[in-house]
Chain A
Amino acid sequence: MKRSLVLTIALLTVLAIAFLASLMAGRVWLSPVTLWQGVVTPGDQLSDLILFGLRLPRAVLAILIGGALGLSGAALQGLTRNPLAEPSLLGVAGGASLGAVIAIYFGLAGVFAFAPPVMGLIGALAAGAITFAVGRGGGTLTLILAGVAVSALTGSGVALALNFAPSPYAAFEITVWLLGSLSDRTWDHVILAGPFIAVGCALLLGAGRALDALSLGEDQARSLGVNLDRSRLLVLLGVGLAVGAATSVAGAIGFIGLVAPHLVRPFVGHQPSRTLIPSALVGSTLLLTADVATRAIYTSSEIRLGVLTSLIGLPFFFWLVIRMKRTSP
């Protein structure tokens, strides 16, 4: 267990560095001294407003969302025993996207600023419910196929919205939302998404023992007392809440959930339950870093979070291909 502790401390340290960087970076760079002054003697200076009103909620949201994605990816890879599983597998992220897109399409976003996240949450839960209703009782593969079907459904819904967008601006707004962003997120977003992410992550952490037993296949896992139906439901619910809330607040952010468990696995002996918390920490760090990069890289218009996380995916898949070629006969 000592190795686990060392790993966790190392990851927390890296996360703390990324967190501090996130508080400093932006159009107005805050030096560490300013940060310290802001914490010790809070006042009404601009730097304090930026720190507490913009940077801090944004950083907290990045940690929550990155953690939710990393943890969900690890849980799904453990459940399916497939290292290519990722959070969007159960259709929940698609549901969140569709809900938010519908809010933007019908102009609700202009009336009520929280329309996209709230409708995103509703969409996520509805998609999760459909996946469960269709895929239940049929085993893990059936559940995944149901999720893929729901993803296809929500994907075509989004495509439909883009096709019949009332104006070029609406189409642009939808597309830009889909690329993912944490800018202009406030404490209200944290309060909206936070509880769902917390509950979802707690459920996923509870599935750890079942995921370990599943290393031996479903028959042996069941013989060890694991209730597979309950475990699948736990993971579906956990991913649904965590990823649903995350996507509805920040848009579609890919690759974090896929890559984080891979980075963690070699350090925890490939044991599924031991990948959970470290994957969450790595996911938080990756998202924080990507978010800092969106602010640190100077571009004419804002570079979106989803673009940068896709760039994480690029070297990862190349590395996977090269490793596969090396280890295959």
Chain B
Amino acid sequence: MTTVLSARNLTVRRGQRTILDDVSITLDGGGLTALIGANGAGKSTLLHCLAGLLKPDAGEVSLDGKPLALWKDRELAKARAFVPQNPRCDWPISVERLVALGLTPVLPAFGGFSAEMTARVGKVMADCDLTGHRDQPAPTLSGGELSRAMLARALVGDPAVLIVDEPTTGLDPRHALDTMGRLKALGGEGRLIIAAVHDLTLAARHADRLIALSGGRVVAHGSIGEVLTPELVFQVFGVHARITATEDGPLVDLLTRT
């Protein structure tokens, strides 16, 4: 059964400003969808609504046909994972414990971890190259390591849907490439992944689909090949671009000409 995440007529207002204006999108099946938009276009707000963490002023979000408002907190937590922008850990707990927090929805109120849960944590850490850091306190991790740890935390619960807000911001090229590669592989496994990204070439080379937001409205939604055009880039960012097909995938060149 394929997972379907759909938003219908989402509207979010903050004071006088309309952040999201009648946004309707449907994501079904696995794969990585990149969400692009200028700063303030409403990407984070949209992701929060899709994750069920923000109640829209109008419209609703449904997962597998059931409105999010009707999902029980724990059931929703098991079905979808959310990683915010600049995630941080407020206590110097070890990486292993941080990743294990992803199992919160399935943990009993009291008691320790079962052997099976410990094994799951170990496997996810190995998948994300964190085994060497298992006992290291979270605040001592580098940006790339913390990003992998937060992703591992999101994945340990084996969610069908993964919503990530700017996973590559602040990462050096190698770690940014690494993260997008992981997200693409997860999409290939059949998970529904939506990630807000700023780097258009990274988005073009790793994502299957693209959603573009501008001024709170969806201005494009479709496969990369179809919708990623210089016209779209100009509409969304106000910047000229040249998109070249290379053997490694599309290359989006941002141009400084006026």
Residues of A within 8 A of B (CB): 1, 81, 205-206, 208-209, 212-217, 219-220, 222-227, 269-272
Decide: A225 and B74 in contact? CB cutoff 8 A: yes
Decide: B89 and A206 in contact? CB cutoff 8 A: no
Q: How would residues 68 to 98 of chain B score, 1 for a CB under 8 Å from any chain A CB and 0 otherwise? A: 0000011011101111100111111110011
Chain B contact patch, size range? 20 to 34
Assuming the contacts A81-B90, A217-B88, asked whether A224 and B83 have C-beta atoms less than 8 A apart, the reply is no
Assuming the contacts A208-B110, A216-B87, A271-B97, asked whether A224 and B105 have C-beta atoms less than 8 A apart, the reply is yes
10 cross-chain CB contacts under 8 A: A205-B110, A215-B101, A217-B84, A219-B48, A219-B82, A223-B82, A224-B104, A226-B104, A271-B93, A271-B97
Q: A208 CA to B101 CA in the complex, in Å?
A: 12
Residues of B within 8 A of A (CB): 48, 51, 53, 73-74, 76-78, 80-84, 87-94, 97-98, 101-102, 104-105, 107, 109-110, 112, 137, 153
Decide: A269 and B93 in contact? CB cutoff 8 A: yes
Decide: A212 and B53 in contact? CB cutoff 8 A: no
Decide: A219 and B105 in contact? CB cutoff 8 A: no
Decide: B92 and A270 in contact? CB cutoff 8 A: yes
Decide: A223 and B87 in contact? CB cutoff 8 A: no
Provide the main secondary structure of the chain A interface: helix
Top 8 nearest A-B pairs by Cβ distance? A225-B77, A223-B82, A81-B90, A224-B104, A225-B73, A225-B74, A225-B105, A270-B91
Q: A141 CA to B80 CA in the complex, in Å?
A: 28
Decide: B101 and A217 in contact? CB cutoff 8 A: no
* B51 cross-chain contacts in A, Cβ below 8 A: 223
Q: A219 CA to B81 CA in the complex, in Å?
A: 11
* A226 cross-chain contacts in B, Cβ below 8 A: 73, 104
Smallest CB gap from A272: residue in B: B91
A293 to chain B, nearest CB (A): 32
* A269 cross-chain contacts in B, Cβ below 8 A: 93-94, 97
Assuming the contacts A215-B90, A217-B88, A220-B84, asked whether A227 and B73 have C-beta atoms less than 8 A apart, the reply is yes
Smallest CB gap from A223: residue in B: B82
Q: A209 CA to B112 CA in the complex, in Å?
A: 11
B138 to chain A, nearest CB (A): 8
